[in-house]
Structure 1
Amino acid sequence: MTRFTEDALRAFLDNQGGVTRFWQPAADVHETRDALVIRLELAGATTETLSVTLSGDGRHLTVAGSRGEGSGEEKTLCHQLEIYFGPFERTFELPEDFRVDRDTITATLKNGFLTIRLPERSFSAMPTRKIPISQG
């Protein structure tokens, strides 16, 4: 109950830009040889309630959505409440030297985990180019 109260107070005090952020899903971020992979724990969320966006400059990935309680049961007395429900938004700053191939990003929701795969844009070797020098 203490954690619940502390998190609720923190969410109230950290309210940024009018967006209510009561909880944030746990996430892992790692790189493979050819991609950056972000995996979020989102049990109870559906593809219809989730949104994944990449900023115009390719530096920030935002996952937003809502997780509903869904049980429909009336609670008359609660003994323990640890599962968070409601809206959330989480933004990840991508590594500075990582360039995303925007056309091949994938997001998959399976077994309560959202896995976002951001393939790295490959650069093909360009031939050496001699730069002409003009007389000023």
Structure 2
Amino acid sequence: MFLTKYSPLHEFRDFGTKFNSLMREFEDEESSLNGFKPVVNTREGEFAYHVDVDIPGVKKDDLKISIDGKMITISGERKHKKEVKEADYHRIETSFGKFERSFTLPDGADVENITATSKDGVLEVTIPKLKSESKKITNIKVK
């Protein structure tokens, strides 16, 4: 007969691994249920800031861009297309739904002249920079 020392923590030895595995499965399922979350790229040019949003399948009429203080919010909806089921099995992997992305406007942004264009499934929001006075170098005499 073998004697084994009882350890209540023995049951939890692999808990972290099992929990992380479960959470990965939940996140994968959740991302497909949450709907559409477009990818956003931002860049700074010499005269403007640019926000590029990948929105394939979203019509211009389904987009809204609003500014509240120092925040710009881009929202919209990619609507579900009517599908025709012709086989015994039907699966849709494209995500649909409402989305909203908000960003803090940088200092020096010209809020009055922001423009947006949508072409080939990409929304480009252009945020011009305010024109600053040319910087003059002034020498100060030390007394």
- TM above 0.5, one fold? yes
Unaligned runs of 5+ in 2: 1-24, 136-143
1:51 deviation in Å?
A: 0.2
Q: Where does 1:10-29 land on structure 2 (aligned, <5 Å)?
A: 11=34, 22-29=35-42
1:77 equivalent to 2:89? Answer yes
Number of equivalenced pairs: 109
8 Å contact from structure 1 (residues 44, 69) kept in 2: no
Letter in 1 for 2:45: T
Partner of 2:31: 7
Q: Which has the larger radius of gyration?
A: 2
Letter in 2 for 1:34: F
Residue 66 (structure 2) aligned to one of 38, 41, 53? 53
CA distance in 1, matches of 2:91, 2:62: 29
What is the identity percentage for the equivalent residue pairs of Structure 1 and Structure 2? 28
Residue 111 (structure 2) aligned to one of 96, 102, 127? 102
Partner of 2:73: 62
Letter in 2 for 1:113: V
CA distance in 1, matches of 2:97, 2:30: 17
4+ long deviations beyond 3 Å: none
Letter in 1 for 2:115: T
1:80 deviation in Å?
A: 5.8
Structure number with the higher helix fraction is: 2
1:27 deviation in Å?
A: 0.6
Partner of 2:55: 42
- The RMSD of aligned alpha carbons is 2.5
CA distance in 2, matches of 1:79, 1:125: 59
1:23 deviation in Å?
A: 3.2
CA distance in 1, matches of 2:28, 2:90: 13
CA distance in 1, matches of 2:78, 2:117: 16
Partner of 1:87: 98
1:100 deviation in Å?
A: 1.6
8 Å contact from structure 2 (residues 80, 96) kept in 1: yes
Task: Give TM-score, length-normalised by structure 1.
Answer: 0.68
